[in-house]
């Protein structure tokens, strides 16, 4: 049986192309499983997984929990609000107390970049990064690639534009690594203030014109403005952002070739995307959510083999 080259999923940066293909191929098999009348397999029976979320989440938390249950793992859920973190307990103490209850794997979302890396070198359990601040969100990038592969047949050779708040996005960085490792071309597009200065060193194209980005790409992956991470004003108003960078259905319909519209969620309707674009035939946004369960099943299953 093929195995991953890593014991933890901390980011796409640490994965080889073989790792990515193994996860996507395994997810393909799990997608068949979750579309059967009996959606469950016994693969992780006797494994206990803790979902440890120090930041808000809808899709990622529920998707991991469902993936774990579909694999027959025992699941416990921890959220920082309502926990003893509020009484001053450290991250490491909190996780060591969870592990003392015989937990095998930690899925963690944390606001601090590097928090899962810190943990992985100090505990004896597999760690899966479910999003660490503005750094990486590896399972989101994997499910995005799975969705592109499903829709367009392959990721290699495709042109993907990531449009929006690149500076504060963990989805952007993980997608850049994941897409490039599979042979896709990547462009980032947004206002100058929301594109990090180091981006050129990653070998991506840069545009500040959303129509230019849409005309160039096969896939537009649109990101929301992360106001909760912005300490200063990066643009005059949401209304102005929407005027210059918002995407509507007419802009997609007028292109001279098909385009696939993606968004990791949550969508701020009327800001980065109008409802008629988000809900149009171009959009695979809900397919991404569906595919997230199969991809997370694959990640958990493969890590549990190590």
229 is in an annotated binding site: no
Shortest distance, position 58 Cβ to ligand CP, whole Å: 4
Let me know how long the chain is: 306
266 is in an annotated binding site: yes
Q: Alpha-carbon distance 60 to 205, whole Å?
A: 29
Give the CA-trace dihedral at 7, 8, 10, 12, to 10 degrees: 50
Is the backbone of residue 27 left (phi > 0), alpha (psi -120 to 50) or beta?
alpha
Q: Find, among 31, 265, 282, 304, the residue nearest to 146 by Cα.
A: 31
Tell me how far the alpha carbon of residue 62 is from its chain's centroid: 13
Is the backbone of residue 131 left (phi > 0), alpha (psi -120 to 50) or beta?
left
* Smaller CB separation from ligand CP, 170 or 207: 170
Q: Find, among 222, 82, 202, the residue nearest to 144 by Cα.
A: 222
* Smaller CB separation from ligand CP, 246 or 264: 264
Shortest distance, position 115 Cβ to ligand CP, whole Å: 16
Among 3, 16, 58, 97, binds ligand CP (CB under 6 A): 58
Decide if residue 97 touches ligand CP (CB under 6 A). Answer: no
Name the closest residue to ligand CP (Cβ).
Answer: 60
| Interaction residues for ligand CP, span 240-269 (CB under 6 A) | 264-266
* Smaller CB separation from ligand CP, 137 or 181: 137
Residue corresponding to tokens 């025992």: 74
Shortest distance, position 52 Cβ to ligand CP, whole Å: 14
| Interaction residues for ligand CP, span 264-303 (CB under 6 A) | 264-266
Edge to edge, the sheet with strand 48-53 lists: 74-79, 48-53, 105-110, 126-132
- The per-type count for the chain, helices as H runs and strands as E runs, is 11, 9
Decide if residue 164 touches ligand CP (CB under 6 A). Answer: no
Tell me how far the alpha carbon of residue 42 is from its chain's centroid: 26
13 is in an annotated binding site: no
Shortest distance, position 57 Cβ to ligand CP, whole Å: 3
* Smaller CB separation from ligand CP, 57 or 96: 57
Shortest distance, position 49 Cβ to ligand CP, whole Å: 17
265 is in an annotated binding site: yes
Q: Taking a C-beta distance cutoff of 8 angstroms, is the pair 120, 99 a contact?
A: no
Among 13, 28, 59, 151, binds ligand CP (CB under 6 A): 59
* Smaller CB separation from ligand CP, 116 or 264: 264
Decide if residue 140 touches ligand CP (CB under 6 A). Answer: yes
Tell me how far the alpha carbon of residue 12 is from its chain's centroid: 10
* Smaller CB separation from ligand CP, 131 or 207: 131
Q: Alpha-carbon distance 199 to 64, whole Å?
A: 30
Number of residues that bind ligand CP (CB under 6 A): 10
178 secondary structure, DSSP code = H
Compute φ and ψ for 269, nearest 5 degrees. Answer: -60, 135
Q: Alpha-carbon distance 134 to 112, whole Å?
A: 8
Shortest distance, position 2 Cβ to ligand CP, whole Å: 28
* Smaller CB separation from ligand CP, 75 or 207: 75
Decide if residue 57 touches ligand CP (CB under 6 A). Answer: yes
Decide if residue 157 touches ligand CP (CB under 6 A). Answer: no
61 is in an annotated binding site: no
Interface ranges with ligand CP (CB under 6 A): 57-60, 131, 137, 140, 264-266
Binding residues for carbamoyl phosphate: 59-60, 109, 137, 140, 265-266
């Amino acid at each position: 049986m093929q195995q991953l080259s890593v014991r933890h999923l901390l980011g796409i940066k640490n994965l080889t192309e073989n790792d990515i293909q193994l996860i996507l191929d395994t997810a393909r098999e799990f997608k068949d499983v979750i579309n059967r009348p009996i959606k469950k397999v016994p693969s992780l029976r006797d494994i206990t997984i803790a979902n440890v979320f120090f930041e808000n989440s809808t899709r990622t938390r529920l998707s991991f929990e469902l993936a774990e249950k579909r694999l027959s793992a025992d699941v416990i859920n921890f959220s920082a609000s309502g926990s003893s973190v509020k009484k001053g307990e450290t991250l490491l103490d909190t996780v060591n107390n969870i592990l003392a209850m015989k937990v095998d794997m930690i899925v963690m979302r944390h606001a601090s970049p590097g928090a899962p890396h810190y943990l992985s070198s100090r505990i004896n359990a597999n760690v899966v990064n479910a999003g660490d601040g503005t750094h990486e969100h590896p399972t989101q990038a994997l499910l995005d690639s799975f969705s592109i592969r499903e829709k367009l047949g392959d990721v290699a050779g495709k042109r993907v534009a990531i449009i929006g708040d690149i500076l504060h996005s963990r989805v952007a960085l993980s997608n850049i690594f994941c897409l490039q490792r599979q042979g896709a071309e990547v462009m980032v597009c947004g206002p100058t203030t929301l594109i990090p200065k180091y981006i050129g060193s990653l070998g991506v194209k840069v545009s500040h014109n959303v129509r230019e980005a849409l005309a160039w790409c096969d896939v537009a992956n649109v990101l929301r403005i992360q106001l909760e991470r912005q300490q200063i004003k990066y643009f005059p108003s949401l209304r102005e952002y929407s005027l210059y960078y918002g995407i509507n259905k007419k802009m997609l319909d007028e292109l001279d070739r098909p385009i696939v519209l993606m968004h990791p969620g949550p969508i701020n309707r009327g800001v980065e995307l109008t409802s008629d674009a988000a809900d149009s035939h171009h959009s695979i946004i809900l397919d991404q959510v569906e595919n997230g369960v199969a991809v997370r099943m694959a990640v958990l299953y493969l890590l549990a083999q190590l």
